[in-house]
Chain A
Amino acid sequence: MSLVQRNAWTLGLLVLFVVLLGVTRAIQPGFGVSGLESLARAALPFAFATAAMAVVVIVGGIDLSVASMMAVCSVTAAVLMQSMGGVPAILITLAVGTAMGLVNGALIVLTRVPDIVVTLAMLFVWQGTALLILASPGGTATDWMRSAITGSVIVDGLPKALVLVALVVAVVWVPVKRSKLGLAIYATGSDETAAYRSGVAVGRTRTLAYGIAGLFSACGGLGLLALTGVGEPVPGPYLLAAVASVVLGGVILGGGIGGLLGPIIAVFILRIIRTILTLAAVDPNVTTIVEGTIMVGVVMFGAVLVLRSRGAGP
């Protein structure tokens, strides 16, 4: 398979995104650099939540607690930043997020309860933890953190928030994907028994994958804090959006197929659709309907494509 064929879905998403950008330009000729910047900023927490979800879906699981973990990280960082500098607070928060992810993964492996049930229970646990840390929205974000995601970098029209997402995901995911762990993650996701029999430490792989998801959730929580400036203990609507973007991004539920680039492009597609509908003065409630319809429609379309290619293949 050529590079183009292998990445057909991702390329298609990219083309779709560019087309949608064009549509936005057509509706609102004034949509330019600042529009792009605010789009990227709004997409920041969604992008990290989606990256987290994508990793666990690739390993063959699902994590319903992503939004709750983000809430915990956002309040942790907000509280810590009141008493210490930004950098140690961010480092501690990243460690906390990774630890939460590892706990999720370890519980799934040790209890042998289905991952969807474990993370459903952990959704409550982390949500409660966030409320214990901070009962109502509060805390603070350092100024440089807020300015780190506003505006453009290098050239106008390359939003800082977008660069940040690309950088963090690349720094975390690319080394992992190229290492033995990455291979083990894909192997476990596509066939757990086969992976086990070829000597992959399935339990450890799964735990580590959840740990990576926890790390991305922590980034999402920090992004959320940078976006709003206050720690918010109540989880936002990130779970649903993350699942939608992961599926739209070409990661197959059940595991083993897909990457992180597709889902992140999908996040921007879903965000820009929201922007277009807002610019077109569509009722925001109708926007919710459109989003749901797109999500379901895309998944149906994807399922049809998979069936087709299977039918045509050997």
Chain B
Amino acid sequence: MSDIHPKPAEHVAPLVRLGRFLKDNPVIPLIGFLFALIGILELMRPGIVSVFWAGNLIKFAIPLAMLAAAQVLTMLTGGIDLSVGIVATCSAFVTATLTPLIGPAPAMLVAMGTGVIVGLVNGFGVAIARVHPLIMTLGTGLIATGCLQVYQRFVISTGTDIPAVLEWLGTGRSWNLPNGLFLFIPFAGFVLWLMRYTGFGRLLFALGSNEKAAKLSGVRSWQVLMALYVLSGLIAALTGLLYLGMIRAPSLSLAVPLMLPSVAAAVIGGTSIFGGRGSFAGAMVGALILRVIDTMLTLARMPEGARIALFGLIILAVTALYVRLSETR
């Protein structure tokens, strides 16, 4: 009788209660962790933390956060998009090589088109042929790499040019803050709005929590997944444009190193790789955390090997801590 009802809250151990609170608000401890890291950084090298430094940190975290958005959205449905790195690279390379030929605006349009094409192929594979997203996106990534290499053979002689607007976005500053924010703030607003207030966002959560139940309630899952992967491709292509303006040297592996960290940023931000749970706000903080860790390891003047290894260990430690804290039992 009375014992089948849940016990009042005072019986809950403080650690569990903390865990529940953190589970409901994953961004709060993450922000705390970010500031703790920045504090350690300031201790390591007093005076390093400044407005200029913060601007730089944000500048380099933006492309990572944008790719992490693609990961968060696909992970909501229990998927993953491992083609984002190469899509961003394709879009950057296409823009840089086509600008001298057809002008900046059409070049950027073509670049976004490549993102849509890869997204359509991914969507077809995942939604209609029911291939595991990991395999599908790895495969399209491989195909896109090959296409890019073949494409390069044809355009190598035309030279490259970077549209002025991208250079302004990538390297310029206004009021000490990077101009990339002009792109990123509307982008982040759009993603947050999409996830929280639109039917599409709810469908993503529904598909990830229980695909069967979602289908039985009338969700046409293939349409949702198709749209999702096209959106993911578009986000990656847009990131490529921004990153091109930032680095200003198109290459065949420009944004590829961002791919695995983008997954890490999403996971650190509290997105479940199995679907149904995730937040873009967390992923943004996750991207900042990764960048701060990067700076710390560079500052500590460690050999490159130790830096890479520590980077991996920290990702693991943060996610393990997160899982431990947010576990309800």
Binding site for B on A (CB under 8 A): 62, 107, 111-114, 116-118, 120-133, 135, 233, 240, 243-244, 247, 253-254, 283, 285-293, 295-296, 299-300, 303-304, 307
Judge whether B312 and A128 touch: CB under 8 Å: yes
A-contact bits for B297-315, CB 8 A (1 contact / 0 none) = 0000001111111111101
Q: Which of B139, B267, B305, B323 has a CB less than 8 Å from the CB of A129?
A: B305
Give Cα distance in the complex from A121 to B145, angstroms: 24
Q: Which residue of A is nearest B130, CB measured?
A: A303
Judge whether A129 and B150 touch: CB under 8 Å: no
Q: How far is the CB of B81 from chain A (nearest CB, A)?
A: 13
Interchain residue pairs with CB less than 8 A apart (27): A111-B320, A112-B320, A112-B324, A118-B316, A121-B264, A121-B316, A122-B312, A124-B315, A125-B308, A125-B309, A125-B312, A127-B312, A128-B308, A128-B310, A128-B312, A129-B309, A132-B306, A244-B135, A244-B138, A254-B132, A285-B149, A289-B146, A290-B146, A292-B140, A296-B139, A299-B132, A299-B136
Q: How far is the CB of B131 from chain A (nearest CB, A)?
A: 5
- Cβ of B109 under 8 Å from chain A: no
Residues of B within 8 A of A120 (CB): 260, 263-264, 315
Residues of B within 8 A of A254 (CB): 132
Q: Which of B135, B305, B320 has a CB less than 8 Å from the CB of A299?
A: B135
Judge whether A131 and B131 touch: CB under 8 Å: no
Q: How far is the CB of B194 from chain A (nearest CB, A)?
A: 24
Query: Interface centre among A129, A247, A285, by most B CB within 10 Å?
Result: A285
Q: How far is the CB of A263 from chain B (nearest CB, A)?
A: 14
Residues of A within 8 A of B312 (CB): 121-128
Judge whether B323 and A288 touch: CB under 8 Å: no
Residues of B within 8 A of A299 (CB): 125, 131-132, 135-136, 139
Give Cα distance in the complex from A122 to B273, angstroms: 17
Q: Which residue of A is nearest B320, CB measured?
A: A111
Q: Which residue of A is nearest B148, CB measured?
A: A285
Query: Interface centre among A283, A287, A295, A296, by most B CB within 10 Å?
Result: A296
- Cβ of B51 under 8 Å from chain A: no
Q: Which residue of B is nearest A284, CB measured?
A: B149
Judge whether A121 and B313 touch: CB under 8 Å: yes
Name B142-173 residues within 8 Å CB distance of A.
142-147, 149-150, 153
Judge whether A128 and B143 touch: CB under 8 Å: no
Judge whether B320 and A247 touch: CB under 8 Å: no
Query: Interface centre among B136, B149, B305, B327, by most A CB within 10 Å?
Result: B305
Judge whether A107 and B316 touch: CB under 8 Å: yes
Judge whether B146 and A285 touch: CB under 8 Å: yes
Q: Which 5 A-B pairs have the closest CB atoms?
A: A128-B309, A124-B312, A131-B305, A288-B146, A292-B142
Residues of A within 8 A of B183 (CB): none
Judge whether B309 and A132 touch: CB under 8 Å: yes
Interface of B is mostly: helix
Give Cα distance in the complex from A290 to B327, angstroms: 44
> A117-B267, A243-B138 given as contacts; is B145 within 8 A of A288 (CB)?
yes
Q: Which of A233, A289, A303 has a CB less than 8 Å from the CB of B150?
A: A289
Q: How far is the CB of A246 from chain B (nearest CB, A)?
A: 10
Residues of B within 8 A of A286 (CB): 146, 150
> A286-B146, A289-B147, A295-B142 given as contacts; is B131 within 8 A of A300 (CB)?
yes
Residues of B within 8 A of A111 (CB): 316, 319-320, 323-324
Q: Which of B139, B309, B316 has a CB less than 8 Å from the CB of A244?
A: B139
Residues of B within 8 A of A303 (CB): 129-131
Residues of B within 8 A of A123 (CB): 260, 312
Q: Which residue of A is nearest B137, CB measured?
A: A296
Judge whether A117 and B150 touch: CB under 8 Å: no
Q: Which residue of B is nearest A107, CB measured?
A: B316
Q: Which of A121, A285, A295 has a CB less than 8 Å from the CB of B153?
A: A285
Residues of B within 8 A of A133 (CB): 305
Q: How far is the CB of A168 from chain B (nearest CB, A)?
A: 27
Q: Which residue of B is nearest A121, CB measured?
A: B316
Judge whether B323 and A124 touch: CB under 8 Å: no
> A112-B323, A296-B143 given as contacts; is B136 within 8 A of A285 (CB)?
no
Residues of A within 8 A of B274 (CB): 114
- Cβ of B105 under 8 Å from chain A: no
Q: Which of A107, A253, A285 has a CB less than 8 Å from the CB of B134?
A: A253
Residues of B within 8 A of A292 (CB): 139-146
Judge whether B316 and A300 touch: CB under 8 Å: no
Q: How far is the CB of A235 from chain B (nearest CB, A)?
A: 11
> A114-B273, A300-B129 given as contacts; is B135 within 8 A of A243 (CB)?
yes
Besides A124-B309, A129-B305, A292-B142, 9 other CB < 8 A contacts? A128-B306, A135-B304, A233-B305, A254-B132, A288-B146, A289-B142, A289-B143, A292-B143, A292-B145
Give Cα distance in the complex from A243 to B149, angstroms: 22
Judge whether B305 and A253 touch: CB under 8 Å: no
Residues of B within 8 A of A126 (CB): 309, 312
Give Cα distance in the complex from A244 to B140, angstroms: 12
Q: Which of A130, A244, A247 has a CB less than 8 Å from the CB of B305?
A: A130
Q: How far is the CB of B23 from chain A (nearest CB, A)?
A: 15
Residues of B within 8 A of A240 (CB): 138, 142
Judge whether A121 and B146 touch: CB under 8 Å: no
